[in-house]
Structure 1
Amino acid sequence: MNNNILIIDDEEAIIELMDIYLTNEGYNVYKAYNGKSGLEILSQNDIDLVVLDIMMPGIDGLQVCKIIREDNNIPIIMLSSKSQDIDKILGLGIGADDYMVKPFNPMELIARIKSQVRRYLYLNKSNNQNHSNNIITVKGLVINKNNHKVTLYDELINLTPTEYKILLLLASNLGTVFSTEEIFEKIWEEKYFESNNTVMVHIWRLREKIEGNPKEPKLIETVWGVGYKIED
């Protein structure tokens, strides 16, 4: 079964170009030229990934991302003509899984879409499995690998696929310190480059969701100069 990709962008030329590339790769493409239409398509169809432009009239991409994240964990790749780090941090900070700057190489976007869809499907393919060792419990946090649900003191925590993968990596290796580079290369399956703050942003988002005080984390600990860990 082909995966469904939703592209939300007010630039028709970009949508039509990506439609050609994605269709050639075997994806089903849904097209929306503004945020409102994109949200309507998402509510009516089984979408596996959203490619979302930030700068749009009406409801901009940041608002659309926030709305999607209220009850949906599908991967979101943001597009923007802004290349400043603060713009990338803002996009990732509200729930995007990846960020690309316009103009972009279509084949690079295809590669990132494939990576995100593969990761998303991997997280959801074992829903019907039932093995006791697929439950991880640490400090009130429960990670159920069978249905990919995370609870903290019995309260459901809504995580994006990327946040879940990072948390699962750390919780599955209690006491092990992972550097920013190691986390990036294991989760994104790409080469890490200096000044890449993607991991830092996702760790902060995770802490906001699972820590009582994100500035004084008790679960995801920082080992200064080394990386991050979760202790039993």
Structure 2
Amino acid sequence: MSNTPGTGQGYRALVVDDEAPLAEVVASYLEREQFEATVATNGSDAVAIAREVDPDVVILDLGLPGIDGLEVCRQLRTFSDAYVVMLTARDSELDTVVGLTVGADDYITKPFSPRELVARVRAMLRRPRSMSAAEVPASAAPPRVFGPLRINTAAREVRIDDDPILLTRTEFDLLEALSARPGVVLSRRQLLEIVRDGPWVGNEHLVDVHIGHLRRKLGDDAANPRFIATVRGVGYRMASAQ
């Protein structure tokens, strides 16, 4: 797929919100940036459309009737690596988002600026998709090894004791950022700005959500970490490479 830097040309977006006028407004902003935008107003349609169009990003309302946004995201993660931006109706719903384990990459609280939403989506899409083994250059950097953990950054693959670990893009990007600087403490803001490739505006504790997901998938105990250590009041650091 060929994409023009700074635009959405060639990218597919799925906007899911039961408020059809809002969904259409968001879609129109994305289309101005040359995204191919599709709208769904309920969870069942959203899953079916995602299977059909294979979106690069999904703008997903949390409070859908019937199949809610959390369940839609769970189902998406069984077949799609699309970025998921969760829309929440109020700040108090952030507690729900922080606790979820369904693989959303970002959130934005209603009411929001469609321009800000599009800017966040564009920043996300500057990050690479996974490559197949055949696409990895022969000169690619060797895997980073942390005991049983092997991180192949070129192929965006992670294994523990040779068993593959399936990560979302954001989880992998956080692991990549930490593993590139073993022993160095990175603040939440530093991690977000590395992962988002630019200044971050929003709740920095979103990092804690993704680190929590990452640790669970790696079998890492926060109280006695093998891989990712918490530095209280500062952020996180990776164990030394082995």
The two structures have a TM-score, normalised by structure 2, of 0.87
1:97 Cα deviation (Å)? 0.7
- Choose from 95, 102, 120 the match for 1:86: 95
1:68-147 to 2 correspondences below 5 Å: 68-84=76-92, 85-91=94-100, 93-119=101-127, 122-124=128-130, 127-147=135-155
**Kept after mapping to 2: 8 A contact 1:211/1:218:** no
Q: Which residue of 1 aligns with 2:62?
A: 54
* Residues 61, 87 of structure 2: 8 Å contact kept: yes
Distance 2:84 2:233 in 1: 31
Counterparts of 1:198 and 1:29, CA distance in 2 = 26
The 5 A counterparts of 1:158-197 are: 158-188=166-196, 189-191=198-200, 196-197=204-205
8 Å contact from structure 1 (residues 18, 106) kept in 2: yes
- Equivalent position of 1:222 in the other structure: 230
Q: Which runs of 5+ in 1 are unaligned?
A: none
User: Do the aligned residues in 1 keep the contact of 2:61 with 2:69 (CA within 8 Å)?
Assistant: yes
Deviation at 1:54, TM superposition (A): 0.8
User: Residue 45 in 1 paired to residue 53 in 2?
Assistant: yes
1:181–1:192 contact (8 Å) kept in structure 2: no
State the 1:125 CA deviation.
6.5
- Number of residue pairs the alignment of both structures matches: 228
Structure 2 residue aligned with 1:5: 13
- C-alpha distance in structure 1 between counterparts of 2:70 and 2:174, whole Å: 23
Displacement of 1:192 in angstroms is: 5.8
**C-alpha distance in 1 between matches for 2:18 and 2:38:** 14
Say if 2:131 and 2:156, in contact at 8 Å, map to a contact too: no
SS at match of 1:133: coil
- Cα offset for 1:87? 2.9
Report deviation, 1:14: 1.0
Shift of 1:134: 4.0
Q: 1:214 deviation in Å? A: 4.3
Change (3 A) 1:82 1:138: same
CA deviation vs aligned residue, 1:168-198 (integer Å, no higher than 9, x gap): 11111112111222112222222366x6311
Long gaps (5+) in structure 2: 3-9
Report the counterpart of residue 156 of structure 2 in structure 1: 148
Give the aligned residue type for 2:199: E
Q: Given residue 166 of structure 1, which amino acid in structure 2 is its aligned partner? A: L
Considering only aligned residues, what root-mean-square deviation do their CA atoms show, in Å? 2.0
Shift of 1:129: 2.1
Maintained 8 Å contact 1:6/1:49: yes
Deviations 1:36-68 (A, max 9, x none): 111111112231111101111111000011111
* Residue pair 1:163, 1:206 contacting (<8 A) in 2 also: yes
Q: Distance in 1 between matches of 2:145 and 2:102?
A: 27
Q: Is contact 1:53–1:61 with CA below 8 Å preserved after alignment?
A: yes
Q: 1:185, 1:192 within 8 Å by CA — same for their partners in 2?
A: no
